[in-house]
A and B are shown apart, each in its own frame.
Chain A
Amino acid sequence: MDLFHDNPLLAGVRQMLGSFALRSMRPIAARHDREESMPWALMKEASPFLSQTAALDGRKKLTGLEDDPDPKKPRTAARIAVVGSEELGYGCAGIALALAGSGLAASPVARMGTDEQRAEFKKLMSGLDDQGRVKVAAMALSEPATGSDISGLKTIAIPDGDHYVIRGSKQWITNGLSAAVYVVWAQADPAAGRAGVRGFIVARGTPGLVPGRKETKLGIRASETAQVHFEDCRVHKDMMLGQATSAEGAATGLSDTKKMLDSTRPAVGSQAVGIARAAYEFLLDRVRGGSLHGTPMASHQHIMFELAEMQMEITASRMLAHRAAWLADHHQDNVAEASMAKAHGARTAQLVTTRAMVLLGEEALEPDHPVEKWYRDAKIYDIFEGTGQIQRRILARLLTGQNPT
């Protein structure tokens, strides 16, 4: 199941992004973590190959290859995403999110949008913003009172002639402060319940769209997270997603939103694998030349069995992500595998970084220590894009058809 066995395309993606991670991400990671700043310069430098609208561009930009136009043929998008995400997570998870977080907004537009909406989204994302920075997008689903249970959305979209008036607040939105374009989810038809939820493309500067306060966070601090308020924000009805039949079939409100989350989970799990691998390799490097009271570190089971354990977990997590992606690329259902990949990757990242900290002892107390940063970064993978509990709830429901509480 290892994606690299006979696939030069994926091996190429890995090699290219892996060297980008070491050369371009690592040297600036500590600074952006400390300063809680987005790596705008790197984002611009990387934009020729790491597009903020990759979900809409197909694979050409990164790999130079056109997508196969035959929709029945296996795709490579999901596999490219997991292989690339591991490398970017290996570089720096916060920077990875700054480089690729717009994909969360681009992917529902790609899946559910009309041609006009896709074109509009790409237009809004083209060029530089008024501060000369590459443009980023935000996907605004979560709300102060609604994270795991997205059926409880309070943000509403009230029809008003050719427009919808959006009212509500969004919480923890990646790129929420700086985005050039927002994809916001709101209840457009309360009578329809869960089927009434729709996404809307809203351009920055639209009256009533008010970016809120930026959060100070435990980890992934190079990625911006902020509240976003919609204060009677008028959006043309043409900008509502899921009004037309999309490539995936008719859009069906919340369930389509959930599908969108399923599709990004393997890559999110992979990013976590990248963090784990970073910490593991850091230790391995230390062990190779190191000694402990005069004996080689490599001769100590106390240390080496921990590394063996880490290697096992990392490999297992990676395989799960690869399998979930392979299924998606082969047009097969992967809901369970995607949840496993995400939850397992998150667990591995936390386990490996925590153990690595212990083994490093006082060294890990030094400010700007990379392993300490990875420890803080790892935690988010068990929270966003469906918490660890929510992934297990999905798996449990698939087992018996029932939601355990």
Chain B
Amino acid sequence: MDFTLDAEQDLIVQTVRKFADRDLRSWTADADRAGTPPERLIATATDLGFFDEVSRDDPASYAHLTRALRGFELGRGCAGLAALLETNVEPALAVATWGQAAAKDALFTSLSTGGLAAFAHDSRGLLTVVPAAGDLHVSGKLGPVPALAIARHVLVAAGGVLMLVPTSKLTLTPITPSGWRAACWATAQLDGVVVPADHVVSSDPAAIATLLAWARVSLAARAAGVATAAMEYAQAYAAERVQFGQPIGTFESLIRLHDDAVTGAIAARLCALHAAWALDARRAEALDLASRARVLAGDVVARATIDAVQIYGGYGFVNDYPVEKLMRDARAFEALHGDERLGRVLTERRLQEAV
């Protein structure tokens, strides 16, 4: 048992932290207001190797632990931009792991020329997937999905199937939700979109569960980063703001708000890292740990961002200061893929009923 980072992990954390502190934090407010990422984002992130890190031929070597370490730092920088920077991982890993040659060719050719891919999980069951002459026909509503508005491909998990769909086949409606506003969200209405058999990536429930675990760990790590950022801002503000003749950071009730949130953020980060480690080690409990990490991180980021606004008082409620955005951003961590607790409860109930 050793929590020390190895040299490569350490280098990645230092590099991404610098990128988050220097670039993401300086872009985040304007990107949020504009509802679009800064032009430099993709180029800068490409230079840092964000988009082509999944090996087509050796996806099993992918390190979720490194990704979680990085995701935490990105979350500290900007949740919306972090979502864009992380968007290729699930599609690339899934297609490389389970996909057929045609899907691999399509996706990795696109990725190698700067194309992005999104991941959509039909957690509300709004899509119907019907087999027809060896292909699949997909209808219904997709999304909201981050990165979908600018992605060339979307990996869709729906109806027990995982499929790769070029976005050129979809009629996209770009949207700007209240949180992660710069994340280039879109929804799509599908009307019998044909997915050829060679673009069906998997219909193995275990594969879909694994994919969701990757996504959950990534979300959890980023959420812990957002919670941490909220408290970094709040602590700095509380040290400066004076009321009743003393810095508000000296009031015990605010110390406690801050302290509990920091405890939560540390725990959430560790749970995400632990789940990531379990994924890398192919441990049987990895999927469960990933789901638990997300439950915890969702609670923690919700609480921490609401309390950061509280600590800022009136300034917390206005857009000139960084924390109201964090409160908006917090929601997507719990909303994407649906209510995590509900999924856990239903699964456990089915297991118990089967006993």
- Interface residues, chain A, with chain B CB atoms under 8 Å away: 142, 145-149, 152, 171-172, 215-219, 225, 292-293, 302-303, 350, 354, 357-367, 372, 375-376, 379-380, 382-384, 387-389, 392, 404-405
Within 8 Å by CB of A388, from B124, B143, B310, lies B310
Assess the B331–A148 pair: CB atoms within 8 A. Answer: no
Distance between Cα atoms of A382 and B254 in the complex (Å): 14
Assess the B346–A405 pair: CB atoms within 8 A. Answer: no
Given A148-B313, A354-B302, A359-B342: A367 touches B176 (CB 8 Å cut-off): yes
Say yes or no: is B59 at the interface (Cβ < 8 Å to chain A). Answer: no
Given A375-B331, A383-B316: A362 touches B144 (CB 8 Å cut-off): yes
Given A217-B317, A365-B177: A379 touches B342 (CB 8 Å cut-off): no
Distance between Cα atoms of A194 and B306 in the complex (Å): 33
Distance between Cα atoms of A171 and B320 in the complex (Å): 13
Assess the B335–A362 pair: CB atoms within 8 A. Answer: yes
Question: Which A residues lie within 8 Å of B251 (CB)?
Answer: 389, 405
Binds A, one of B1-9, B159-167, B242-250: B242-250
Given A367-B178, A379-B327: A361 touches B346 (CB 8 Å cut-off): no
In the A-B complex, the 3 residue pairs with the smallest Cβ-Cβ separation, listed nearest first, are A361-B338, A216-B319, A218-B324
Say yes or no: is B99 at the interface (Cβ < 8 Å to chain A). Answer: no
Within 8 Å by CB of A389, from B185, B253, B298, B324, lies B253
Assess the A367–B243 pair: CB atoms within 8 A. Answer: no
Within 8 Å by CB of B335, from A219, A361, A383, A392, lies A361
Assess the B339–A359 pair: CB atoms within 8 A. Answer: yes
Q: How far is the CB of A100 from chain B (nearest CB, A)?
A: 19
Say yes or no: is B150 at the interface (Cβ < 8 Å to chain A). Answer: no
Within 8 A of A (CB), among B325-339: 327-328, 331-332, 334-339
Assess the B331–A361 pair: CB atoms within 8 A. Answer: no
Say yes or no: is B318 at the interface (Cβ < 8 Å to chain A). Answer: yes
Closest to A303 in B: B342
Distance between Cα atoms of A182 and B197 in the complex (Å): 70
Within 8 Å by CB of B306, from A303, A350, A389, lies A350
Distance between Cα atoms of A145 and B240 in the complex (Å): 11
Say yes or no: is B206 at the interface (Cβ < 8 Å to chain A). Answer: no
**Additional 20 contacts, C-beta under 8 A, given A293-B346, A364-B335:** A142-B314, A171-B314, A215-B319, A217-B317, A302-B341, A303-B342, A357-B334, A359-B342, A361-B124, A361-B335, A365-B144, A367-B175, A367-B177, A372-B178, A376-B328, A379-B327, A383-B310, A383-B314, A383-B317, A405-B246
Q: How far is the CB of B328 from chain A (nearest CB, A)?
A: 7
Within 8 Å by CB of B124, from A363, A387, A405, lies A363
Question: Which A residues lie within 8 Å of B296 (CB)?
Answer: none
Closest to B185 in A: A365
Say yes or no: is B84 at the interface (Cβ < 8 Å to chain A). Answer: no
Question: Which A residues lie within 8 Å of B306 (CB)?
Answer: 350, 354, 379
Say yes or no: is B345 at the interface (Cβ < 8 Å to chain A). Answer: yes
Say yes or no: is B58 at the interface (Cβ < 8 Å to chain A). Answer: no
Given A148-B243, A404-B252, A405-B246: A387 touches B310 (CB 8 Å cut-off): yes
Closest to B187 in A: A366
Given A358-B334, A405-B251: A380 touches B317 (CB 8 Å cut-off): yes
Assess the A358–B144 pair: CB atoms within 8 A. Answer: no
For B, the interface residue count at a CB cutoff of 8 angstroms equals: 48
Within 8 Å by CB of A152, from B243, B319, B346, lies B243
Question: Which A residues lie within 8 Å of B123 (CB)?
Answer: 361-362
Say yes or no: is B220 at the interface (Cβ < 8 Å to chain A). Answer: no
Assess the B317–A147 pair: CB atoms within 8 A. Answer: no
Distance between Cα atoms of A172 and B312 in the complex (Å): 13
Within 8 Å by CB of B244, from A142, A149, A357, A361, lies A149
Question: Which B residues lie within 8 Å of A387 (CB)?
Answer: 310, 313
Question: Which B residues lie within 8 Å of A225 (CB)?
Answer: 318
Contact with A along B152-190 (1 / 0, CB 8 A): 000000000000000000000001111100000101000
Given A358-B334, A361-B338, A405-B250: A302 touches B317 (CB 8 Å cut-off): no
Distance between Cα atoms of A171 and B187 in the complex (Å): 39
Question: Which A residues lie within 8 Å of B328 (CB)?
Answer: 218, 376
Question: Which B residues lie within 8 Å of A146 (CB)?
Answer: 243
Distance between Cα atoms of A314 and B124 in the complex (Å): 28
Given A364-B335, A387-B313: A215 touches B252 (CB 8 Å cut-off): no
Assess the B335–A376 pair: CB atoms within 8 A. Answer: no
Assess the B335–A357 pair: CB atoms within 8 A. Answer: yes
Question: Which B residues lie within 8 Å of A360 (CB)?
Answer: 335
Assess the A362–B319 pair: CB atoms within 8 A. Answer: no
Q: How far is the CB of B317 from chain A (nearest CB, A)?
A: 5
Q: How far is the CB of A283 from chain B (nearest CB, A)?
A: 12
Say yes or no: is B309 at the interface (Cβ < 8 Å to chain A). Answer: yes
Question: Which B residues lie within 8 Å of A354 (CB)?
Answer: 302, 306
Q: How far is the CB of A351 from chain B (nearest CB, A)?
A: 10
Between A and B, 20 residue pairs with Cβ closer than 8 Å are: A148-B244, A148-B313, A171-B314, A215-B318, A215-B320, A217-B319, A292-B342, A357-B335, A358-B341, A360-B335, A361-B335, A362-B124, A365-B336, A379-B309, A379-B327, A383-B310, A387-B313, A388-B310, A392-B253, A404-B252
Within 8 Å by CB of A218, from B253, B317, B335, B341, lies B317
Q: How far is the CB of B17 from chain A (nearest CB, A)?
A: 28
Question: Which B residues lie within 8 Å of A363 (CB)?
Answer: 124, 335
Closest to A152 in B: B243
Assess the A218–B336 pair: CB atoms within 8 A. Answer: no
Distance between Cα atoms of A388 and B306 in the complex (Å): 13
Distance between Cα atoms of A327 and B45 in the complex (Å): 62
Question: Which A residues lie within 8 Å of B244 (CB)?
Answer: 148-149, 405
